[in-house]
Amino acid sequence: MRIDVISLFPEFIRESAALGVVGRAGERGLLQVQAWNPRDYATDNYRRVDQRPFGGGPGMLMLAEPLAACLGAAKAADPAPAHVVYLSPQGPRLTQARVRELAAMPRLVLLCGRYEGLDERFIEREVDEEISIGDYVLSGGELAAAVLVDAVGRLQEGALNHADSASQDSFEDGLLDCPHYTRSEAAGTEGVPAVLLSGDHAAIARWRRQQSLGRTWLRRPDLLARARLDAADRALLADFIRQWQAIQPPRA
Ligand code: ADE
């Protein structure tokens, strides 16, 4: 997969894409991330990339012309059709389900806004989708683009070392992940749930599923309300809730 990122801070994009799993995906040829700077497409002597908005008021917008020229160059760099995403707090919030869909596309172009954002006509003309990474405002789209590159990059076939580790992640089935315990010389097995030491793989799988359901119930009831649970899941959760209620201190 190829991802082109249009940003006034291309170094940040290059450096973040070179780290960890995503960096390795790049080395393995599974993911190609290229950063483009609209300033390289500015035509005036000052290489200006910002402009005052119509209607006045504080704040500047990104100048449309260098951005359009930069986007044109990025698109033309590869014949594969590009899905253009503008990272913005105005978009729908990113979910793991959407990440999976984006990860299956051959090519993305990510637009990172700075200042107060982009000209609305440019968005209407050029952008296929706006995406927000959460209900808070960042000072630019770069961190959001790095989040998207990471989430999509790690799902490229062969990027993760254990083939099944993505399918066990939080959110892959709409639930949070179960707790994990590392083998440690210093801490030994103290505080590790006995079932994990039992060697009984069916019991371990059941316990993990129950923890995943229970954690989601405790921490993210909104996710649980949308998750599809079968009868076995519902029984595990009911059992978790009973155990949890039994250890709650009495209310004063
Ligand atoms: N740019 C500024 N804030 C953002 C957010 N929350 N998500 C995506 N892009 C942004």
> Looking at residues 143-154, what average pLDDT do you find?
98
Residue 164 has pLDDT above 60, yes or no: no
> Looking at residues 132-139, what average pLDDT do you find?
97
Predicted local confidence at residue 235, as pLDDT: 98
pTM of the model: 0.90
Residue 154 has pLDDT above 80, yes or no: yes
- Give domain 169-252's CATH architecture: Orthogonal Bundle (1.10)
Print burial letters for 206-230: b (CB count within 10 Å at least 16), e (below 16). Answer: ebbbbbbbbbbbeebeebbeeeebe
> Looking at residues 51-72, what average pLDDT do you find?
92
With a 6 Å cutoff on the Cβ, whether 136 touches ligand 1 is: yes
Q: Which sequence spans correspond to the domains of the chain?
A: 2-153, 169-252
193 tagged catalytic: no
> Looking at residues 220-241, what average pLDDT do you find?
96
Enter the tokens of residue 242.
């009973």
Topology agreement, domain 2-153 and domain 169-252: no
State the distance from the centre of ligand 1 to the C-alpha of 134, rounded, in angstroms.
7
State the distance from the centre of ligand 1 to the C-alpha of 143, rounded, in angstroms.
8
Residue 18 has pLDDT above 80, yes or no: yes
Q: Whose CA is nearest to atom 6 of ligand 1?
A: 89
Q: Can you name the CATH fold of 2-153? A: Alpha/beta knot (3.40.1280)
| Residue 163 pLDDT grade (very low, low, confident, very high; cuts 50, 70, 90) | low
